Amino acid sequence: MGFVLPVASTVMYYAEHGAQPDVFASIPHAMWWGIVTLTTVGYGDVVPVTVLGRMMAGLFAVTALFLIAVPTAILGAGFMEEMEVGEPASSEDRRTGSGGAGTDERSSDS
């Protein structure tokens, strides 16, 4: 997300500085808006008022969600896969005598 913050702040500075020179006074000032928006906190103290600014704000907010959600989903899926591998045999497997050592369903071809 480190590369999105300077880009989003710069774009918002140029989109909003004319309409709100006191709020978006400089690119570093616009970074406050960027941090709040990209972390999805959204305090509401600095908001875009121009059409271009609002469109860019929406784009950057969705981008930030994807930057957080996609890696989280990948890590979560990997975690669940590892948890399933280490899971003990179910009660059904214990009753029928199946399961246990050597019954890993994953192929050893990989």
In a 13 Å sphere around the CA of 2, the CA atoms on its Cβ side amount to 0
Answer yes or no: are the C-beta atoms of 13 and 30 closer than 8 Å: yes
Mean pLDDT of each 10-residue bin along the chain, 110 residues long? 86 93 92 84 84 92 86 92 76 59 54
Counting beta carbons within 10 angstroms of the beta carbon of residue 36, is it exposed (0 to 12), middle (13 to 18) or buried (19 or more)?
Answer: middle
Q: Angle 60-23-29 (CA atoms, 0-180°, nearest 5)?
A: 65
Residue 39: the pLDDT is: 79
In CATH, which of 3.40.50.11780, 3.40.190.10, 1.10.287.70, 3.30.70.1520 is domain 4-87? Answer: 1.10.287.70
Measuring CA to CA, which residue among 4, 10, 3 is closest to residue 24? 10
Domain ranges of the chain: 4-87
